[in-house]
Structure 1
Amino acid sequence: MAASVDASPAAAPRTPQQPQKPRTLADLIGKAMTPLCRKRGFASVDIVAAWPEIVGPRYGERVQPDRLIWSRRKDADGEDIAEPATLLVHTDGPTAMMLSHETGQIIERINAFFGWAAVGRIKIAQKPVMPRPKSRPRPPRPLTGEERARLDRQVEGVEDDRLREALRKLGERVIARGDAGKRS
């Protein structure tokens, strides 16, 4: 009997000339960063990327997550006991003192981010923090004469001068940003 040969395209090896499917940049960067984050105890790059949103503006730029330290305890049967990790962060001296008084709130925010009690304690090390690159917002475009006239008509009924001026400034920014995606 002759052996059957599977000629399906899935079984055929990919030749070097066949192009790969395009992949998003986020997939490529995430895959490159994830091993580095896992080496530091993080399951993925998510907490590092979302750090400023998790801890808020007070600590987002001044405190940096360094690693998660997972304790390795076993029960009587030799099974691993899942315990919350210790998050090691570094910051400068004055910020460390402020942070030490708010670790409970920070732990709650981190655990809310993870969706489970992943962190039980924060250990603070006083080291310099690498500043995050700041993105500068683009300045708003100038309004056209027609846009300015329409805005003036909309706020002319406001009697309070300070309120009218504040509404005019707000309107200018809203109108200028309305087509921000259209300009190049």
Structure 2
Amino acid sequence: MFNLIEDFLNREERRRNRSLSKRFRTWLASDQAQAHVQKLERTLSKPGGEDRAVQILRKAEEAYKADDAYRKQDNKRKKSLKQFQKLFEDWLTTDKGAPYQNQIIGAETEEARALARLDAEKAFARANPHLLPLDYMDGSKTRIRPVRFGFPKDVEELSFDVIEPGLNQIGLVGANILRNWAKIVGTALAENTRPERISFPPKGRTNGTLFIKARQGFNTIIQHNSQEILFRINSHFGFKAVSEIRISKRYFDEAETTGQQIARTVISKRVQPAKELAPNVAAMVDGIKDPEFKKAFEELGKVIKARNG
């Protein structure tokens, strides 16, 4: 049966007008390629299975390339780990590594010795992060975790990832235009305009038409600066996402600005808190032991009493 596969490989070489690599032929004889070889045997044993065998051979070549890439990466990983261990052993003999070496030698049990060695490896890795091998950089195998710096994020950044899929469905390119509208067009236009939607040509995600809702009197400004807006949008994305700008006929809602209108509405509805709590509310608040909670509920009760008259 192997002669059948060998004849097929020879015919494939003549068809391609080039030889298959010796390493690939050797790989076909290994245990990792047995599934592909068995498929080739079954297909070639059937009449008219030559075309199907060609497809199976191409899949086998792809599997060989993936296996070869993994093997090279594994060899590189082992080499980097070996180099790291050698440098680590040399570091233990220096003045900086001597205290850790003494802890390792002075450990009474194997477990304590392993922990001392792990502490020494961490100290060496922190001092030489550029020498970390691939095993230590892989998050799934990390024994020495590098120092990570966390930065606070706005609620907008955290919540926008949740609503982004829905925004994509209404035609916004990655929802980035709506999210970064103020950065793209500037504060003045952002407070008086709002991107509504983008319509793309059939089966395309470029050269779209952007519809903008604008406050009364800003239509002319948008038309006059349309080329600059187009340039800023496309520069933001790095490709020609939008090729035309149109003014939407929908009404521009004041609440869609930076929130100043909403803030004014909230402030206008504020009431002056009452001077004292209602008797039933005061009895409930007296049972709260935490002083901060008690103060917060007292302020809330006075506001509610003032609103209820």
Q: Structure 2 CA distance, aligned partners of 1:86 and 1:34?
A: 20
What is the letter of the counterpart of residue 46 of structure 1?
A: N
Q: Structure 1 CA distance, aligned partners of 2:226 and 2:200?
A: 18
Higher strand share goes to which structure? 1
What is the letter of the counterpart of residue 63 of structure 1?
A: T
Higher helix share goes to which structure? 2
- The secondary structure found in structure 2 opposite 1:122 is strand
Mapped pair 1:117 → 2:240: yes
Match of 1:67 in 2: 197
Quote the RMSD (CA, aligned, Å).
Answer: 2.6
- The secondary structure found in structure 2 opposite 1:47 is helix
Identify the match of residue 128 of structure 1 among 252, 261, 265: 252
- Counting aligned pairs with the same residue, the percent is 23
Tell me how far 1:26 sits from its aligned partner: 6.6
Match of 1:77 in 2: none
Larger radius of gyration: 2
What is the letter of the counterpart of residue 85 of structure 1?
A: G
- The secondary structure found in structure 1 opposite 2:243 is strand
Identify the match of residue 180 of structure 2 among 50, 71, 80: 50
Q: Any conservation in 2 of the 1:52–1:59 contact (CA below 8 Å)?
A: yes
Q: Structure 2 CA distance, aligned partners of 1:47 and 1:85?
A: 12
Tell me how far 1:92 sits from its aligned partner: 2.1
* Contiguous gaps of at least 5 residues in structure 2: 1-152, 261-309
TM-score by length of 2: 0.31
Q: Structure 1 CA distance, aligned partners of 2:182 and 2:196?
A: 14
* Count of residues in correspondence between the two structures: 106
- The secondary structure found in structure 2 opposite 1:41 is coil
- The secondary structure found in structure 2 opposite 1:93 is coil
- The secondary structure found in structure 2 opposite 1:94 is coil
Distance 1:71 1:96, change over 3 A: same
Relative contact order, higher structure (CA 8 A, sep 6+) = 1
Q: Structure 1 CA distance, aligned partners of 2:240 and 2:174?
A: 16
